[in-house]
Amino acid sequence: MTAFATWERRVQRGAHPFAYPLIRAVGTIRPVFRLPGLGVLVSEASLVREVLMDGGYTKAGAKASGALWTPVVGPRALLNMHGEEHLELRRRLNALFTPRAVEDIVAPAAARLRERLATGLENGAPVEFVGLVKELSGGVISRLLGIPDDAPGRLPDSEFFNRASSITSVVRLGRPRLSARQVAKAKAAVELLAGPVRQAYRDDDPDTFPGRLRVLGLSEDEAVGIVSAFVIAGTETLVSYVPRLAGLLYDDGRLPALAAERTGLPAMVNEGLRFTAPSPMMLREATNDGWLGGVRIKRGERIMLSTVHAVKSLGGFDPGMPIPAAARQLWFGAGAHFCIGMPLAMAEINSAMTVLLDEYNLQPWTIRSRTISRNVLIPGYKSLELVRAQ
């Protein structure tokens, strides 16, 4: 087994030491499998896409992912909506994620990432890259909250990430719903983020993200819910993926050529998303009786979409390999719930990778050490130390 494949297996098993091997094993045996007490596991890309494209499977049901978040962020946060009301809100929000709009959100945080990485490497000491990606994520979160970069008393970027992470940390793969205590903890964290959103909304400044939500006609509470949803959906996956891609490209020996010639970067990023599957599971609820992959589905059943098996089962990391249509961008979803924040996520990923490659091109760096995160929802590295190559 190659070095990058070994590390990826360790990352996945560290997060889910029992669930990951079980899901991979079951997916190999049968594409649709009923797991008593958990739900129906779907592991084949074409069937995962079929569920995502079918309005008969809802994200808003009592056993779907939306039910986890409705008590925390309210009923109109996009990620917990379904049907025509969801489509209408999504249409209104699409204009927020134009290339120029996402560049305005990401650019300041990306500039700070560049400065922090360059300064650290030039000093000759190891630079902990996972922490820097958390700061990048936190900087983007602060822009979504409507906080100016020069605001007096502004918190460090890392603190914005920590507050967002405290919301997502209450979710576990095998937990169908949150307890009252977990809901209270997550709501308290949301309220810490809600203050700046409410202030920016009331200031009615269309240059801020909450201000643009006001222009679109959303209420103040809806703006808080929408911003909270984007923070929840993007925080952990970005911090999971970027360091894993950096490690993957380093282990596979692709950094020198890629740093010198960037035309291959889009294919590397896309294939890295497939191979690492940073969104390993999606949840839906069946709204009708029916059949899926030869298995009888009952109304009200929890449907567990194993993205991690659906895309990783296609083979090892190979940027030159065409991704089958059924699996294409499946990590961002499909159909009505295809990730509306995908342009923002890709802008963050590409900014971080450009900074890394620029530094490598200036003077190669090497990975000094790394550790994996254990028993977390989204697999990833806990730390990834970079240092200038001698």
Phi first, then psi: give them for residue 25, nearest 5 degrees: -70, -45
Q: How far apart are CA 238 and CA 262, in angstroms?
A: 21
With tokens 């994200």, the residue in question is: 59
Beta-carbon contacts of residue 195 (< 8 Å; ≥ 6 apart): none
Domain boundaries, the chain: 3-388
Q: Mean pLDDT: which of 36-40, 145-149, 365-369 is highest? A: 365-369
pLDDT at 12 over 70: yes
What are 224-283's pLDDT values in tens digits?
A: 989 988 888 777 889 999 999 999 999 999 999 999 999 999 999 999 999 999 888 999
What are 70-82's pLDDT values in tens digits?
A: 888 888 888 888 8
Tell me the three state secondary structure of residue 212. helix
What are 80-126's pLDDT values in tens digits?
A: 888 898 899 999 998 899 989 999 999 999 999 999 999 999 988 89
Helix (H) / strand (E) containing 284 = strand 282-286
With tokens 């200031």, the residue in question is: 203
Half-sphere exposure of 329 (CA within 13 A, CB side): 13
- The reported pLDDT for the residue numbered 68 is 79
C-alpha angle 302/307/311, rounded to 5°?
Answer: 150
Q: Is residue 134 left, alpha or beta, with left meaning phi > 0 and alpha meaning psi from -120 to 50?
A: alpha
Find, among 2, 4, 1, 3, the residue nearest to 275 by Cα.
4
Tell me the CA distances in angstroms from 156 to 147, 152, 162, 382, one per residue in order: 12, 12, 10, 20
What are 153-208's pLDDT values in tens digits?
A: 899 999 999 988 888 777 665 566 778 888 888 888 888 889 999 999 999 999 99
Q: Considering only the top CATH level, what class is 3-388?
A: mainly alpha
